[in-house]
Homo-oligomer: A and B are copies of this chain.
């Protein structure tokens, strides 16, 4: 693949490429709360100054599935400020927009809406943080798209089969086929690829004259056998893949050895985990496309908070630290303090002078204390850096690597967004389910709540704050139970069952607004088990005098 001439002309698309902006990440943090908004503005400012044709985002524009009012408000503010205006948009859309944006209430690209004066169209797929959830399958991007400020694309509605229809763009003599695929659980997408259920549709005419650009938001590095998308799964007619989700900046297009295509991984624009991958200098890209040629220009982000991470293995310094020395802990602490001071110096030197870049750096010192050492008090240590570091509470991370080699230390993985600490809750609720489940199973041999359905509901409830996920599942199961119990019953028995179910629903409904979700959940599951146990059920035993009612 050759590069575009440095001279852009009326045939050259200029596309600003960015991903994983995670608006609202740590928004309550008094020090870091504004970081994501500042950098989003910087990104849009680059788009404006470079007079790009459009902005292309690779998912996770929002950190939370249900972003706060403040986050949505700030995002709308930035988009309205930077992406509206009189500069005319220079490309046209050749594909059927009703197909490209079929799930939208306004199924056309925003810059062609007569009521909106858009200067920079933003095209975005959704990520795993801001994916569609709930009964209406809406996501945060849909708010922006309904307000006319973003073009949300790449959304598939089936969970078994995907046919990706590209948005076809033309500027002068250059034609781009823009393919997008919003985040899908990796295992599911892996399975679909293996079963040949993912198709990328191609324009009928002049198939080879298009520059094929694909945006995806999945695991790129292998986490378990099917928990990622191998690059070679992707069609080889593609020219460039913009890969979101992975936070390490590897934006310079890198050719896949087996396929013909290039992959650009822009990486996140904010540090969301204290791992080495996030310490790589963050960039966005200015992609020039002319005919079938492209050039990715790197733009260093200047407002990202500096992040320095280092490792210390205490056992590697036998000259300095002797575990038998009663003062060894103080010595270790002093050593770490020296290290942190050096890191602070480096961070200061690295600052770029952008007035919007926040001052305090993020500092992480990972201390391997294997070999008979004791960790010192992190609280005391943190206190010293309260005013100099953005993350005083977690500057130091103690771990034991040596002698634990059989266990993989998750925290040592590079460039991967560490999932949020919700395991405790998940386990707790799931245990509860299993417990009740077993009781129910023993008594009535009824598969009341499948582990799978419940697992997914719990996940939605916890990760996406989808408050009704559990309730909806329970309701669905209640109705199923109700129908099931009523089979071969007398009318009087049926009435009693209905009464119990109504009571159960009312109870759940009343509890909704004023108690903790766990309580509701426990109460309802308990009630369901009670209902079932109080109607000893044996197939074929009941008597039937059913009336003809639904």
Contact = CB atoms under 8 A, between A and B. Distances in A.
Considering residues A114, A148, A517, which has the most beta carbons from chain B within 10 angstroms of its beta carbon?
A: A148
Nearest to A519: B516
B516 A70 contact: no
A101 interface: no
Nearest to A132: B69
A141 B517 CA distance: 28
Interface in A477-531: 495, 498-499, 502-503, 506, 510, 513-519
Contact of A72 (B106, B118, B143): B143
A397 interface: no
A333 interface: no
A468 interface: yes
Number of copies: 2
Interface string A452-468: 00000000001000001
A418 interface: no
A425 B85 contact: no
A136 B24 CA distance: 14
A400 interface: no
Contacts of A77: 105-106, 146
A48 interface: no
Contacts of A220: none
Contacts of A66: 69
Contact of A383 (B80, B462, B499, B514): B499
Interface stretch (A311-319, A374-382, A437-445): A374-382
A280 interface: no
Nearest to A392: B502
A323 interface: no
A325 to B, nearest CB: 23
B85 A115 contact: yes
Contacts of A514: 421-422, 424-425, 462
B421 A73 contact: no
Contacts of A76: 143, 146-147
Given A380-B495, A518-B516, A468 B28 contact: yes
Interface in A120-162: 134-136, 138-140, 142-143, 146-149
A252 interface: no
Question: How many residues of A sit at the interface, in one of the four size bands?
Answer: 35 or more
A136 to B, nearest CB: 5
Contacts of A383: 495, 498-499, 502
A351 interface: no
A515 B70 CA distance: 23
A408 interface: no
A502 B381 CA distance: 11
Contacts of A149: 147
Contacts of A503: 379
A298 interface: no
Nearest to A76: B146
Contacts of A519: 516
A393 interface: yes
Interface string A61-77: 00000100110110011
A495 B462 CA distance: 36
A138 B513 contact: no
A84 B115 contact: yes
A454 to B, nearest CB: 17
Interface string A81-93: 0001110000000
Given A380-B499, A421-B514, 15 more contacts: A66-B69, A69-B139, A70-B135, A72-B143, A76-B147, A77-B105, A77-B106, A77-B146, A115-B117, A117-B117, A147-B148, A421-B513, A425-B514, A425-B515, A516-B516
Lowest 9 A-B CB distances belong to which pairs? A516-B516, A425-B514, A115-B117, A84-B115, A147-B147, A379-B499, A76-B146, A77-B105, A379-B502
5 contacts: A66-B69, A69-B143, A76-B143, A116-B117, A422-B514
